[in-house]
Amino acid sequence: MLFLELAAQAVRGFSPSIRVALKPGYSALQSPTDLPAPLSGLIIALAFPDGRGGDSAFLAPGAKAGRAGLSIQGHDGSVWRIVRDLGGAGGLHKLNKATNQFDVVSQDALEMGQSLRAGAGFPARSTWEQLFTLTGPQLPTRRPKGPVKPAAGASAAAKPAQRLPTASWNMESAAAPSAEDASKLPALEAELVTARRAAEVQFRLDGVNSELFSLESKTRSWDEIGQRLNAARAEVAGVKDHASGLPDDIIPRAKRYPDERKRHEDQLARLAEEQQAIIDNAPPPPAPLRSDQRFLGAMFVGVGLFVGAMFLEGPLRYLALLSMVPFTFAALLALRFIEDLQRSGRDGGKSEVLAGRVKKLTDDFALTTMVVQQAFAQVGASTLEEFLAVMGRREGLQGQLVALEQEWAAAQADPEYASLAQKVAALKADQEACNQELLGMSGGYLRDVRDIEREIARIKEPAAAAPPRPSISAEGLTAVATAPTETWDDPAAPLLMLATDLFTTDIPSLWSVLHDRAVQYLTALTDRRYHGIQVDKDGHATLEAPGRTIVARELPGRDLDLMYLALRLTLIEKAAAQHKLPVVIEDTFNTVLDAAKQPLFGRMVKHLGSLTQVLHVSGAGQNASLADTPSPI
pLDDT score recorded for residue 629: 65
Q: DSSP labels for 484-525? A: PBP----SHHHHHHHHHHHHTS-HHHHHHHHHHHHHHHHHHH
Specify the pLDDT at position 149.
47
Each residue's pLDDT tens digit, 524-582 = 888 888 888 999 988 899 998 888 888 888 888 888 889 999 999 999 988 887 778 89
Does 1-123+582-633 carry CATH code 3.20.20.140? no
Main-chain phi, psi angles of 7, to 5 degrees = -125, 135
Model confidence pLDDT, tens digit, residues 264-281: 888 888 888 887 777 777
Mean pLDDT of the chain: 76
Per-residue model confidence as pLDDT tens digits over 67-102:
899 999 888 788 889 998 888 888 888 888 888 888
pTM, two decimal places: 0.49
Mean pLDDT over 493-503 rounds to 88
Burial classification of residue 26, based on how many CB atoms lie within 10 Å of its CB (0-12 exposed, 13-18 middle, 19 or more buried)? buried
Which residues, other chains included, contact 269 with Cβ-Cβ below 8 Å and sequence gap of 6+?
none
pLDDT band at 157 (very low <50, low <70, confident <90, very high): very low
- Choose the CATH number for 125-132+489-580 among 3.40.50.1970, 3.40.50.300, 3.40.50.2300, 3.30.70.2390: 3.40.50.300
pLDDT digits (tens, 9 = 90+) for 585-606: 988 787 778 777 888 888 888 8
Is pLDDT above 60 for 482? no
Per-residue b or e along 270-285, where b marks 16 or more CB atoms closer than 10 Å to that residue's CB: ebeeebeeeeeeeeee
SS3 415: helix
pLDDT at 468 over 70: no
- Whether the pLDDT of residue 584 is over 90: the answer is yes
Please state the separation of Cα 291 from the chain's center in Å.
89
Query: What separation in angstroms does the CA of 454 have from each of 192, 402, 557?
Result: 11, 65, 18
CB-based burial label for 45 (10 Å; 0-12, 13-18, 19+): buried
Q: Where are the beta strands (DSSP E) in 495-624?
A: 532-535, 541-545, 548-551, 583-586, 614-618
pLDDT digits (tens, 9 = 90+) for 188-212: 788 778 877 877 777 777 777 767 7
Please state the domain extents for the chain. 1-123+582-633, 125-132+489-580, 175-238+416-470, 254-380
1-123+582-633 and 125-132+489-580: same fold?
yes
Q: Which of 503, 493, 626 is nearest to 567 (CA)?
A: 493
Cα 274 to Cα 278: distance, rounded to the nearest angstrom = 6
The DSSP element (H or E) to which 5 belongs, if any, is strand 2-9
| Residue 251 near residue 388 (C-beta atoms within 8 A) | yes
Number of neighbouring beta carbons within 10 Å of residue 76: 9
The continuous run of DSSP H or E covering 84 comes out as: strand 79-85
Torsion on CA atoms 261, 267, 271, 272, rounded to nearest 10? 40
pLDDT digits (tens, 9 = 90+) for 11-45: 988 988 888 888 888 888 888 888 888 998 889 88
pLDDT tens for each residue of 266-325: 888 888 888 777 777 766 777 787 788 888 888 888 888 888 888 877 787 777 788 888
